[in-house]
Amino acid sequence: METVRSGSDPEIMRTELRYIRTPVRASIERMFYRGKSSAFIPHNRKTLHMSTYLADEDFEFLKIERTNGVAFVTIDAPPMNVMTPSLFRELAKFGAQVSTDDSVVVVVLRSDDPDFFIAHFDVSAILEFPVEGPAEKPEELAGFHLMCETYRTMSKVTIVEIGGRVGGGGSELSMSCDMRFGASDKTVINQMEVPIGILPGGTGTQRLPRLVGRGRAMEIILGGVDIDAETAAAWGYLNRALPSNELRPFVTDLALRIASFPPHAVALAKEAVNNADTLPLSEGLMEERYLFQKLLRTEEANPAMRSFLDAGGQTRDAEKRMGELVTEVDWS
C-alpha cells in the first residue's frame, strides 16, 4: 500500500495525518486527478478533470449507441450491476465527456438486466474507506456527489429507464437525472443504507425529499423499505410506471422526440427548470426572461416559429393536435 497526502474528496474519506491507498481507493482517485504519485491536492476542484478520453467502445461496463442526437447508454456490469468503483469511474467518465459533446442532446441510461438497473454502491468498497482521524466536512463537491451533479446540470437531457430494482447509489444517480421511468410490474426503489449502519451519502438525503417530500423520504430512508413502481410514480419519484413491454419503446420515442427539437431551446429550458431548485422565485423569473431573450437571438428560433405557423399553428384544427404538430416543425 502507498501512503499519500490527504485531500478534499468526501467519497474517499480524509484524515489529518495520512491516507492509505489501496487498489480500490487508487482506482477512484485516478478517475479525477492528474498525476500518479499524489492523487489528492488541497482545494483542487478547479483542476478536476478526466485525464484520458475514452472512445465509446473503450468502456467496459457501458454499451453506448448514438442515434439522431441521443446517446443510449446500457449498463452491463454482471452479476447485478452493483455500483463498483470501476462502474462509478466509467459513469463519471462518460458524464464528463458527454457534457461537452455538441452532437448529443439527450442521454438515456438503461440496463438489459431484467431484474436490476443498478443495485447499490459496492459495500465491500465502502468497507475499505479509511476511518483514521475525525470526520471532516468538505468545502466543495467531489466524488460521487460531483458525478451526480454532472448528470443533473449538464446541458443534455438525462433520462433513466429503470426496468428492475434500483437502490442506494444507483437510486441517487437516478434522482439526479432529469426524468425517471419505470416498469409497473418490475421496478422497485430502495435505500438500504441506514439498516447497514450508514446513510445515503451520494445525494440521497437531499434529492429524495425534493422529489417525494420529507415524510415519504423519511419512510424510504429510515425504513429501508421496498417501494413499488406504482407508489414511486404516485409519490413523484418516477415520471410514469409503464408495463414492462412498453417501457423501452416509450423512453426511446421520448428521447428521440426531444432530440429532434432545437438543441439550444432544449438546453436552456432545462437550465431554467433547474433554477427552480436553487433560486428564489423572483430571481428565477428574471433568469427565465433572460434565457428566453437569449433563445430569440439563436439561429434556430426564427425558422422554427415560422415553420410552426406554416404548418398550421394558430389555426383551430392544427391546435387540436399540438403534440403532433410540433414534431412537424423544421428549424434547420
pTM of the entire structure?
0.85
All three cell numbers of 153, joined, read 446540470
CA 36 remoteness from chain centre:
28
User: Would you put residue 77 in left (φ > 0), alpha (ψ -120 to 50) or beta?
Assistant: beta
- CA–CA gap between residue 92 and residue 330 (Å, rounded): 35
pLDDT in tens, 87-118: 999 999 999 999 999 999 999 999 999 999 99
**Who has greater pLDDT, 64 or 40?**
64
pLDDT at 15 over 50: no
Q: How far apart are CA 83 and CA 169, in angstroms?
A: 7
Euclidean distance between CA atoms 233 and 250, whole angstroms: 16
Q: Give φ, ψ of 80 to 5 degrees.
A: -150, 30
Q: Is the pLDDT of residue 13 over 60?
A: no
- The span from the CA of 174 to the CA of 158, in Å, is 9
C-alpha cell at 3: 501512503
Percentage of the chain with pLDDT > 90?
Answer: 83
Greater model confidence, 45 or 329: 329
Note the pLDDT tens digit of each residue in 218-258: 999 999 999 999 999 999 999 999 999 999 999 999 999 99
Q: Is the Cβ–Cβ distance between 187 and 110 less than 8 Å?
A: no
314 φψ region: left (φ > 0), alpha (ψ -120 to 50), beta (else): left
Q: What is the mean pLDDT of residues 205-212?
A: 97
pLDDT score of 27: 46
Check pLDDT > 80 for residue 199. yes
Does residue 42 have a pLDDT over 80? no
Distance CA 169, CA 201 (A): 8
Instruction: Verify cis geometry, omega within 30 degrees of 0, for the bond prior to 79.
Output: yes
